[in-house]
Structure 1
Amino acid sequence: MTAITEWPAKLTAGWLRGQYLSGLLDPEAVIREIIRRAVRDKDMNIWIEPPAEAQITPFLAALKELNPQEHPLWGIPFAVKDNIDVKGLPTTAACPEFAYQPEADAAVVERLVAAGAIPVGKSNLDQFATGLVGVRSPYGETHNALRPEYISGGSSAGSAVAVARGQAVFSLGTDTAGSGRVPAALNGLVGYKPSLGAWPVRGVVPACASLDCVTVFAHNLEDALTVDRVARGFDEADPWSRCVKREAAALPGKLLLPQAPLDFYGLHADEYRRAWERAEAAVQELGLPVERVDCTLFSEAAAILYEGPWVAERWADLAGFVETHREAVLPVTESILSSGAAERHTASSLFQAMHRRQRYKREAELLLRDAVLVLPTCGGTWTREQVAANPVGANSDMGRYTNHCNLLDLSAVAIPAGEAAEGLPFGITLFALADSEHLLAGAGERFLAEGHSPERKDGGGAIGDGDAGGGGVGVAGGGSTAGASGGAVGVGAAAELSVSGMVTLAVCGLHMRGFPLEKQMLEHGARFWQEARTAPCYELVKLPTVPAKPGLLRQAAGGNAVELELWQMPVESLGAFASLIPAPLGLGRVALADGREVTGFICEGYAAAGAENVTAYGGWRYLPAD
């Protein structure tokens, strides 16, 4: 095995999987490097339980029983916010006196570990997940990853900074009012907040149980969506769980921008305003319809989160502990939690607020139908010293454009959008309805593909930093030789349409992430770009080969859409790659749901006669295991 002489500052799943599958790196070496980095950054207060060899060794041993080609997160290290249970490590919620030893992993941790991921430690947070600033912890104020004198954002402070400082590929946070998005914006990351109930919250210390969700931080959208694919799903043991399927990424019918000027705050208010203006201009250049809308309903909904009776829900869960351990709770946290016991929070006031929220939800449903709302994630930032002087006001400002989200049952993704000032990242958040997360993926991919992601600027090896290439060619299907019948196109035609030396390959079978032939993609220099779907005129069959392969057949009438993955591969590798792909599949024209027609693998008609029709599953990934 070749030793790594220079590690990338940012660790991504795409880079690590490439190293693993090519035999250049093993998980043990990755963990040693992560521990070294954690020691290096000890004074940044990132961890409550920092990465340590003894606690990680059992997970490394378990990997030896898992096939890396069948487990999409094999050997991928992640951080866990310390209000989420990991068996064998105490859960503190940033309050030592509250600590307990969980008997099992939280449901989402269990799923990630089963997929091969390695939990490396428990990260710092605003105590009891009460705060958006990252400085409310007896374990120390978590420093910003880029400028330590500034706040890191909360409450998932340590989770975000661990990823930003290269001590994890991804991390788990939680989000009630913005805690999975604010730290992403302040540290230059992607923060993905799924729909309420889409990921189980069993094994999570509640903040507001009816509004809580687990989130993920990563360096790029694709890593976040890979985690989402593993973590998502109904959990019958979780009373808050529900079945929310995320469809393949698609573009919304329109993008919504606020009609009225927005408010900005803090030392860098003017820089943040200019950064937002640049982001607005970039949104208007994405080639999608843009509409200006009245955002009053979102600010009014946000106001009832902490001004209304939902603060009493926090008190309902923690009152027993706080009342008997007041000295163990930070004064600002105790003040916020105890406000839930105020006499104004009556049953009548609760129902009044619930009815107001229901009206706002209906307005949001109508406004966001086939649409994505774009807002700044934060309207400014503060130094840690400034927050100490104004702890409540500064924290309130940080939630100005985030608090409404869970109250209105929206999904959201925070993505980088340049810088407000040197070393101060700026980010935007895309909001969609709970059942429209695929629109977040499509719009987010489009925005980042236009060059607004830091990964595209610094060459950090992120998955998905290939050019968008709107008219790019593709190879769809589980594999084929070039030149098969059915409108075949040669490799030369693909090369002519390549962008910056890369060709777009669309795969729908064994070459997808987590499947046995992903290794061939990586060996030929390919990198995942995005998910896609065919036009609704195809059938997918399961060919009786060993292993079984998909066959994609276009129908003269009828058919359905089939999910694909788009990858970017160097043009010079395409010929060698195509030579590995057996008949009866061949290159032909494949129509995509967004109107593009690309080069892709088709199946010769004769092969379908003895094959199982699996179109109803919607894609190869959803077929039941043999």
Structure 2
Amino acid sequence: MSSENEVREMTIEGLRSQYRDGTLTPAQVVAEIVARAVAEREMNVWITPPDMTFVQPYLDRLTSLRMEEAPLWGIPFAVKDNIDVAGLPTTAACAEYAYVPEEHASVVERLVAAGAIPVGKTNLDQFATGLVGVRSPYGDTHNALRPELISGGSSSGSAVAVARGLAAFALGTDTAGSGRVPAALNGLVGYKPSLGAWPTRGVVPACASLDCVTVFAQSLDDALTVDAVVRGLDERDPWSRLVDRGASLLPTRIFLPDGPLAFYGPYAGAYRAAWERAAREWVSLADAAGIPVEYVDVSLFARAAAILYEGPWVAERWAALGGFVEGNPGVTYPVTEKILRGGAAEEYSAASVFRAMHELQRYKLEARRLLRGAVLVMPTCGGTWTRAEVLADPIATNREMGRYTNHCNLLDLAAVAIPAGEAAARTPFGVTLFGLGDEEAVVCGAAALYAGVGVGHAAKRGSAAEPELTSARTADVDMLPAPAPVPTTLVAVCGLHMRGYPLEPQMLSCGARFIREDETAATYSLVKLPTTPAKPGLVKRESGGAAIRLEVWEMPLVAFGGFVAAIPAPLGIGKVELRDGTEVPGFVCEAYAAAGAEDVTALRGWRSVVPV
């Protein structure tokens, strides 16, 4: 078992690699998670902790799924306890509120369909009201690295579960920063998609018009693998909308705050130094990549943030939960009840709501004009606190934690919180990249650039041990080398990996992007293999044949080998000749299997054989 300060990472690709080579099984992983959860129960990570009895049916289900067709096969994940998991209580950290849902929340349903295993429900600031992780009757969630410090909230248990190696990833929610603050305080990536990009059906609302489901992971790659599975319209969810993330793109500009920022708490000085170091690194990296850096007035974002908790939006929380609070006097956590009741203040009239909406609309317009094609980099947090300090002054300390986060959802921005070294020993520091809600690709591209290993492979960077650069040397910082272009290959796909078909998530999880529709040379036959589900077989003929419609994708070479290795016989990857005479790697079928299969060449493409 791990010691108090030892953290053992668990990643999606790391587990899948061990599953493929037979050195590990999902059952072994879950058993270890159960044991670790018991050993670390005093950290107050869980409300419904991992248990083999609950998890076993999900393990049994893996026998009916092929790993190569399920991008999250056997991957354990944790779920914030305001998100429904069928058969487990949803408490929102209030036992009197609890109910047992009959079906999964949309996001959980999609993850389970992709082979992921929900292992338990995590602790949170009650009703997702707080950014500190100490507002729960189930106990304060301890920071993953320094238990005397706060974990951040409200998605406290979810972040710590990933940071302590109790899950490969975890679902949180984010209304004002709850999917980003805990990521920063525990050294993780926190991915917050655009409003509505991930369905919120099956989530206890905080502010329904602003709520997002989020993911905590050890890397941007893992976060985007999850995103590829859960993103998409849910026609049963009134807040759901179709938002295409697209392939990662570099920003046209990088914005940094103009002028000094405010820092707070016992580590304010260390956080300031960590931010200055990170800002210099961004300048160097942007210069090396040829991206202009501009310093901008960020008061716009502060003005927008003030609307959330200093304006009538607090009434939306009361609209969702006021009936429960009024009907169950004395059961709500005291600080939480005080905040919720603030939404019932007489000053928040219908007229005040519309005034705030109109004001916010002007801020949105300013933000769109500023951020088009660009990202804004800011500290995720301006400091941290001990748990004792927050309990002694719960309102002011919590307010400070949202200083650089509260504006995000109000302005319909996408964001990713990424590690940026340490402010002090075992005290992670992080920055958040903000971009427009319809430009998540730019946010992801900037995050990958900061990792220094190319688009699609974000990793942790920096440490408190790095030498400090004095202000006199700032202008002479050695330029970081420009990240090398990511080697890629084209891949021709003619069946279940095409857009809209069940295996498209495999392409996306490999970092592949759709390039174009195309056709083979007129020398191929297409057969329908007798598998479940039916699969196409593409066979080149010595004479005759037809042009078969297909799609051409581009895939990073680093992912191509694993992708090819996972393809089951009789299919494989060979060279496919396209109508213009060029040859690209693509799906082909062994002749022995095609001999006994139904010939569907006359239909000229899989979409005519098995329509989506």
Q: TM-score range by the shorter chain?
A: 0.7 to 0.9
Question: 2:413: which partner in 1?
Answer: 410
Q: Are 2:253 and 1:254 equivalent residues in the alignment?
A: yes
Structure 2 distance, partners of 1:550, 1:363, is 52
Structure 1 distance, partners of 2:354, 2:460, is 46
Query: Alignment partner for residue 558 of structure 2, among 544, 568, 572?
Result: 568
Structure 1 distance, partners of 2:154, 2:55, is 25
Task: Summarize the alignment of residues 66-85 of structure 1 with structure 2, pairs less than 5 Å apart.
Answer: 66-85=65-84
Structure 2 distance, partners of 1:583, 1:235, is 38
Question: 1:164: which partner in 2?
Answer: 163
Question: 2:332: which partner in 1?
Answer: 329
1:252-309 CA-to-partner distances (Å, cap 9, x unmatched) read 1111111121111111111111111111112122322211111111000001100000
Q: Are 2:114 and 1:100 equivalent residues in the alignment?
A: no
Query: Alignment partner for residue 401 of structure 1, among 400, 404, 409?
Result: 404
Structure 2 distance, partners of 1:282, 1:35, is 40
Partner SS for 1:121: strand
Q: Are 2:312 and 1:341 equivalent residues in the alignment?
A: no
Name stretches of at least 5 consecutive residues in structure 2 with no aligned partner.
1-5, 464-480, 528-534, 540-550, 588-600
Partner SS for 1:208: coil
Aligned partner letter, 1:110: E
Structure 2 distance, partners of 1:302, 1:612, is 55
Q: Is the 8 A contact 1:249 1:438 kept in 2?
A: yes
Partner SS for 2:452: helix
Question: 1:216: which partner in 2?
Answer: 215
State the 1:611 CA deviation.
10
State the 1:541 CA deviation.
3.8
Cα 1:409–1:135 shift into 2, 3 Å: same
Structure 1 distance, partners of 2:488, 2:138, is 50
Q: Are 2:360 and 1:357 equivalent residues in the alignment?
A: yes
Question: 1:382: which partner in 2?
Answer: 385
Structure 1 distance, partners of 2:552, 2:281, is 31
State the 1:180 CA deviation.
0.4
Question: 1:582: which partner in 2?
Answer: 574
Question: 2:443: which partner in 1?
Answer: 440
Task: Summarize the alignment of residues 602-613 of structure 1 with structure 2, pairs less than 5 Å apart.
Answer: none
State the 1:470 CA deviation.
1.5
Structure 2 distance, partners of 1:110, 1:81, is 14
Cα 1:92–1:472 shift into 2, 3 Å: closer
Q: Is the 8 A contact 2:80 2:170 kept in 1?
A: yes
Q: Is the 8 A contact 2:192 2:212 kept in 1?
A: yes
Structure 1 distance, partners of 2:416, 2:140, is 25
Aligned partner letter, 2:188: L
Q: Is the 8 A contact 2:417 2:431 kept in 1?
A: yes
Partner SS for 2:431: strand
Cα 1:420–1:316 shift into 2, 3 Å: same
Aligned partner letter, 1:317: A
Cα 1:475–1:93 shift into 2, 3 Å: same
State the 1:582 CA deviation.
2.2
Structure 1 distance, partners of 2:68, 2:426, is 38
Aligned partner letter, 1:440: V
State the 1:468 CA deviation.
8.4
Q: Are 2:279 and 1:280 equivalent residues in the alignment?
A: yes
Cα 1:233–1:454 shift into 2, 3 Å: closer
Q: Is the 8 A contact 1:305 1:311 kept in 2?
A: yes
Task: Summarize the alignment of residues 191-590 of structure 1 with structure 2, pairs less than 5 Å apart.
Answer: 191-284=190-283, 285-286=285-286, 287=289, 288-449=291-452, 455=460, 470-471=484-485, 473-478=487-492, 530-531=511-512, 540-541=518-519, 563-568=553-558, 581-584=573-576
Question: 2:47: which partner in 1?
Answer: 48
Name stretches of at least 5 consecutive residues in structure 1 with no aligned partner.
1-6, 459-466, 480-507, 522-527, 552-560, 591-598, 604-608, 618-622
Cα 1:370–1:119 shift into 2, 3 Å: same
Cα 1:509–1:66 shift into 2, 3 Å: closer
TM-score with structure 1 length normalisation? 0.79
Partner SS for 1:206: coil
Question: 1:13: which partner in 2?
Answer: 12
Structure 1 distance, partners of 2:24, 2:505, is 19
Question: 1:88: which partner in 2?
Answer: 87
1:147-198 CA-to-partner distances (Å, cap 9, x unmatched) read 0000000000000000000011110000000000000000000000111111
Question: 1:187: which partner in 2?
Answer: 186
Structure 2 distance, partners of 1:151, 1:517, is 36
Structure 1 distance, partners of 2:504, 2:332, is 50
State the 1:344 CA deviation.
0.5
Structure 2 distance, partners of 1:311, 1:256, is 30
State the 1:368 CA deviation.
0.8
TM-score with structure 2 length normalisation? 0.81
Q: Is the 8 A contact 2:150 2:386 kept in 1?
A: yes
Aligned partner letter, 1:333: T
Cα 1:468–1:517 shift into 2, 3 Å: farther
Structure 1 distance, partners of 2:604, 2:178, is 46
Question: 1:556: which partner in 2?
Answer: none
Question: 2:476: which partner in 1?
Answer: none
Structure 1 distance, partners of 2:331, 2:573, is 63
State the 1:562 CA deviation.
6.2
Length, aligned pairs only: 543
Q: Is the 8 A contact 1:128 1:207 kept in 2?
A: yes
1:530-568 CA-to-partner distances (Å, cap 9, x unmatched) read 55676xxx65447755665899xxxxxxxxx96533142
Partner SS for 2:491: coil
Structure 1 distance, partners of 2:191, 2:505, is 28
1:94-137 CA-to-partner distances (Å, cap 9, x unmatched) read 00111111121111111111111110000000000000000000
Question: 1:464: which partner in 2?
Answer: none
Cα 1:544–1:39 shift into 2, 3 Å: farther
Cα 1:456–1:379 shift into 2, 3 Å: closer
Structure 2 distance, partners of 1:279, 1:550, is 51
Q: Is the 8 A contact 2:421 2:460 kept in 1?
A: no
Structure 1 distance, partners of 2:559, 2:229, is 25
Partner SS for 1:298: helix
Aligned partner letter, 1:306: Y
Structure 1 distance, partners of 2:108, 2:432, is 25
Partner SS for 2:273: helix
State the 1:474 CA deviation.
3.1
Cα 1:517–1:269 shift into 2, 3 Å: closer
State the 1:37 CA deviation.
1.2
Structure 1 distance, partners of 2:131, 2:47, is 18
Question: 1:483: which partner in 2?
Answer: none
Cα 1:185–1:563 shift into 2, 3 Å: farther
State the 1:412 CA deviation.
0.7
Aligned partner letter, 1:11: M
State the 1:517 CA deviation.
13
Segment of structure 1 superposing worse, 361-370 or 250-259: 250-259
Cα 1:352–1:624 shift into 2, 3 Å: farther
Segment of structure 1 superposing worse, 330-339 or 443-452: 443-452
Structure 2 distance, partners of 1:367, 1:540, is 38
Partner SS for 1:32: helix
* Cα RMSD, aligned residues only: 3.7
Structure 1 distance, partners of 2:374, 2:525, is 42
Partner SS for 1:297: helix
Q: Is the 8 A contact 1:78 1:119 kept in 2?
A: yes
Structure 2 distance, partners of 1:118, 1:211, is 28
Q: Is the 8 A contact 1:194 1:213 kept in 2?
A: yes
